[in-house]
Amino acid sequence: MPEGRRFAAAFKWTRPYLGPFLVVLVAVFVGLALYGSWSEVRGYDWRFNPAYLALSGVLIGLYYLQQWGGWRLVMRSFGDPLDRADSMHIWYSTILGRYVPGSVAMVAGRISLCRRRGIPASTTFASIVYENALILITALLITVVCVPFWPAFRHTEYTLFLAALVPVCLALLHPAVFGRLANRLLLKLGRPRLEATLSYGRVLALIPYYLMGWALLGLGFAALAASVARVGAGDLALLVGGYAFAWEVGFLSVVVPSGIGVKEGMLTAISALAFPLPVAVALAALSRLWQTLAELTAAGLAWAFARRRARKANPRGRPK
């Protein structure tokens, strides 16, 4: 067997285990880092503020509601026949699929649930691509806006590089380009071609909406940090833009489920510009726990709501 094929076969066999292995490895390193600097962590002036913790919960809850609304707007542009309840159930019940490497379970789950309601797989797949592309581009935009206000940050050339990526990404979303790239991918996956693409004006109109989502999520992280640590007004740009950039890096590391470890590592490096390193590590770990709790809560509520609807539609003793 040629060396290239042997490597590809080995990677295909090990890929399902690579993500969990990296997650465990990162958890070990984080644990060792906290253990090695425990005296500094204990010596930090931690200040628990339940009001900020509650504010963080509200902001992150609004973020997930807003993100569902973004997908619904994209789907409605394709003539989505789903009612609000079905759309909400599908989006929330599949978000935990992000914890599977490559978010395959999320994509497959959403396509399957939409297909049961008469929506072609190609349409659902296109909506997911548009949704994630808009999230990535707006993460870049908010990072570019925030970076110049980061404390002790001198590498402005990074900002110029990120700013240069924005028009490239926007160009990729033009219907002529997006349709061609998406159809090539669908052909390789054995899926039908796209029946339609969004107009360029519609895509551009959705960008401010997704920027609002990053403001909610970034401020939610800032409120979480303020619930346990001292956060000044000058740290907001760092926490909001830094969280968006760290999320983006984690998202692009497709092998690692939900970017676990990768996002936290980047968030630690950025937060260390304003906090002692052990405190930055603790805040990054806390943000992951808070995010996971929010997603578990959202998925659980979606599941409970779906069961309640099913019981109302088919009460006991009544034929289906």
Q: Can you give the pLDDT at residue 169?
A: 81
Q: Can you give the pLDDT at residue 272?
A: 86
**Cα 208 to Cα 81, 137, 141, 211, distances in angstroms:** 25, 11, 10, 5
Asked whether 111 and 104 are in contact (CB, 8 A), the reply is no
Q: Is residue 161 part of a domain?
A: yes
pLDDT confidence tier of residue 319, bands split at 50, 70 and 90: very low
Interior angle at CA 279, CA 274 and CA 283, nearest 5: 90
Q: Can you give the pLDDT at residue 258?
A: 56
**pLDDT tens across 116-165, in order?**
888 888 888 888 888 988 998 899 889 888 888 887 666 566 677 777 88
Which residue range forms the structural domain that includes residue 51? 36-306
Please give the model's pTM, rounded to 2 decimal places.
Answer: 0.80
Q: Is residue 26 part of a domain?
A: no
Q: Can you give the pLDDT at residue 207?
A: 93
Q: Is residue 246 part of a domain?
A: yes
End-to-end CA distance of the chain: 56
| Residues 172/174/179/180 CA torsion (nearest 10 deg) | -60
Q: Is residue 267 part of a domain?
A: yes
pLDDT confidence tier of residue 4, bands split at 50, 70 and 90: very low
Cα gap 11→298, rounded to integer Å: 34
Q: Is residue 28 part of a domain?
A: no
Question: In the chain, where does DSSP find H-type helix?
Answer: 3-36, 38-43, 50-77, 84-94, 104-115, 121-146, 156-172, 175-188, 200-226, 236-252, 262-271, 277-313
**Number of domains the chain contains:** 1
CB atoms < 10 A from the CB of 3, how many? 7
pLDDT confidence tier of residue 106, bands split at 50, 70 and 90: confident
Q: Is residue 76 part of a domain?
A: yes
Give 260 or 174, the one with higher predicted confidence. 174
The two structure tokens encoding residue 155: 């590498």
